[in-house]
Structure 1
Amino acid sequence: MKASLRSGLLAAAVAVLAGVISMTQAAAAEAVSIRLKWVAQAQFAGIYVAKAKGFYKEAGIEATINPGGPNINVESLVASGADTFGIASGTEGMLYARENGLPLVCIGMSQQMTPFAYVTYNGTGIKSVKDFKGKKVATWFTGPQFTLFSVLAHEGIAKDDVQIVSQPFSMQPFIDHQYDVATVTLYNELNTLKEQGINDIRLFLPDDSGVTTQQDAIVTSEKMIKEKPELVQAFLAATLKGWKYSFEHKAEAVDIVLAAGSGLERKHQELMLDEIERVMTAKLGKTEGLGAIDLASIGAVQDSLLEYKALKAKVDLKSAFNTSFWDKVPAADKKL
């Protein structure tokens, strides 16, 4: 047999084998859905990058990313199995979810410090959180409401003494003075106000009220952990790898986010990603790696919520916050 013919047959055989392997891998890929707590933006860059760069595919995962919004409850959707994984609220949201009997488990914590703050106009006369009493205070009911509850509890204010209303996606109602206090994130809405030249505002940080909490919990259900622990492990590792890549290739990460969303402004997303990096690499994020779960901090938040009767009973933290999957993620995928 001529060498050229043998070479051609070998190449054909390799191509066929590659096709078979590709089809086998595609068939073996597990379909999962990831529910975000908000719409596409740099807050979730790691998720979009993990999909776009093929990290989920490499882990045997066929991922569908579902956006969130003001009236979407990630905790309920994931706990019920409607979504496989989610980027939910944070420490308080997990504690309340478990208190309410939801079989939800946190396998990683994205943000290592409190990213929320509260703004009011200087002319309202509100000079401290204690002045929230009797006022209309807006927040998102996608998890941040629990941080507000913690802040009020620490200031000795009953929830019923404050008119807490649902805050929409837009900051326009606050700009139009439709409520006294609005919730912002340090990486998004605060920048939006500044970009519009709104500077006659006063800012209240949860940390000033003694509330420091991890946020943007990476969650799944007890059922998933019991039935498919390998899938849970693969998902978390690929997600953290996506975040590491995002921070090491920011321009590309922003490109991916812009392609995933609509009506996004590049400069705003760049600023958001910078701030997201700051809150994700703070504290344990710097010393231990991206996504670390701070059980000591979570325990302290639970104790304060119990003290102020914002939480009715203790939650089994080891059942609610499973660190074993994060522990097994290779350091190369989670440490910058």
Structure 2
Amino acid sequence: MTTTPRSPASISITRLLRGLGLAAASVAASVAATLPAHAADKFTFLTNWYAQAEHGGFYQAQATGLYTRARLDVTLKMGGPQVNLMQLLMAGQADCIMGYDVQTMKAWEQGIQAVTVAAAFQKDPAVIIAHPQIKKFEELKDKTILVGSAGLVTYWPWIKSKYGFTDSQVRPYTFSIQPFLADKNIAQQGYLGSEPFSIETEGKIKPTVFLLADQGWPPYATTVVCSVDTVKTKPKMVAAFVKASMEGWKSYLAGNPAAGNALIKKDNPNMTDALIANGIAKMKSEGVVFGGDAATQGVGIVTDERMKKTYDMLVANKLLNAAKVDLKKTYTTQFVKDLKVMP
């Protein structure tokens, strides 16, 4: 078979087209190199207090690049005693906040549309601390109990109804352990990783610590709470933040927490290594993050059954007006039900 030879003109045109193709590809590559990569979405998360081990999963996610890999540019802002989290959330100063079931459900009574999207803590770390001679919670019935203003409108009514305690037992808690150390007939409120450690360190006694969650107190704690608007308009960002945060909690408690701890101490220079270590140890030993439903359904899980239990308890103790609050609007499981960040 004979072939028709290509003319010099056709060869020149072919070479020209190839050259133009190569040049175009080169130009495209050069332009692409000068363009910025896909910008990370800015996301602000406001915590409920000064940085501490109990916030460690979020700081770990920041420190180890989990948020960055999720294409999020996350800012962690500390809360504090004068910080109104819900107000700042509704004002758009944060995309989501560190919340608490009781607070979030009650917010709906005032028309604040806030939604729980994940729960880092399967157990609320709230505790009642007693002197060593007290072995059972029921033995506190004739003791003076120091309770702060927040406790009086959350767990105290539940304690009264379940154990038959009375308001006559209550005295104000002033966030000092000295009254407790001075009187063996006094018990006080506390936080699992904080006051018991201070009492052991300063008082040289090992107190009896009752974790309210182990007594039946049902709310989740250290939740991720967003506005209804954020959930509707930024679902991918919320999903990415929840996933990276829960992976952060797994890394913090099951891996090396050093990176997260460094950021915690940077934000809160008053935080000591000993207090951080104690907080981590207590979260592990008491199953605060990995216990409950998280053991089988993954870190951050929120279930309908658990939320209904909290809702019903609040209504029964006249802490929530059922006529004003639709339980189903206060939370969503869409971001955690299939997440499966297993401990």
- Matched residue, 2:320: 311
User: Shift of the alpha carbon at 1:220?
Assistant: 0.6
- TM-score, scaled relative to structure 2: 0.77
Deviation at 1:289, TM superposition (A): 0.6
Alignment coverage as a number of residue pairs: 312
The one-character-per-residue Cα deviations of 1:108-152 (angstroms, maximum 9, x if unpaired) are 01111232111255799x9745446xx5633374x8952334323
Give me the TM-score of the superposition, normalised by structure 1.
Answer: 0.78
- The offset of 1:107, in angstroms, is 0.4
Aligned pairs (5 A) from 1:1-336? 17=32, 20-22=35-37, 25=38, 28-89=39-100, 91-120=101-130, 128-131=139-142, 137-139=146-148, 141=150, 146-156=154-164, 165=172, 167-168=174-175, 171=177, 175=181, 180-199=186-205, 201-207=207-213, 210-252=216-258, 253-277=260-284, 278-313=287-322, 315-329=325-339, 331=340, 334-336=341-343
The CA deviation at 1:184 is: 1.3
Amino acid at match of 1:232: V
Using the TM superposition, name which of 204-213 and 235-244 deviates more: 204-213
1:300, distance to aligned residue in structure 2 (A): 1.8
Write the distance in 1 (CA, Å) between the matches of 2:316 and 2:113: 25
Residues 200, 206 of structure 2: 8 Å contact kept: no
The CA deviation at 1:282 is 0.5
Deviation, structure 1 residue 172 = 5.5
Q: Give the greater-gyration-radius structure (CA).
A: 2
Q: What is the distance in 2 between the residues matched to 1:15 and 1:248?
A: 44
By how many angstroms is 1:269 displaced? 0.8
CA–CA separation in structure 2 for the residues paired with 1:35 and 1:173: 33
Deviations 1:202-247 (A, max 9, x none): 5444256542332111111111012211111111111112112212
Describe the shift of the 1:18–1:256 C-alpha distance in structure 2 as closer, same or farther (beyond 3 A).
farther
Q: Which amino acid aligns with 1:100?
A: Q
Name the structure 2 match of 1:6: none
- Separation (CA, whole Å) in 1 of partners of 2:152 and 2:61: 26
Offset from partner CA, 1:275-304 (integer Å, 9 cap, x none): 224310001111111000132122122223
Q: Distance in 2 between matches of 1:235 and 1:49?
A: 13
Higher deviation after alignment, 273-282 or 145-154: 145-154
Q: Report sequence identity in percent.
A: 23
Are the counterparts in 2 of residues 118 and 183 from structure 1 also a CA contact under 8 Å? yes
The whole-number CA distance in structure 2 between the counterparts of 1:18 and 1:215 is 46
Task: Kindly indicate whether the alpha-carbon contact (under 8 Å) linking 1:280 and 1:290 is maintained by their aligned counterparts in 2.
Answer: yes
How far, CA to CA, are the matches of 2:205 and 2:306 in structure 1? 33
> Is contact 1:32-1:62 (8 Å) kept?
yes
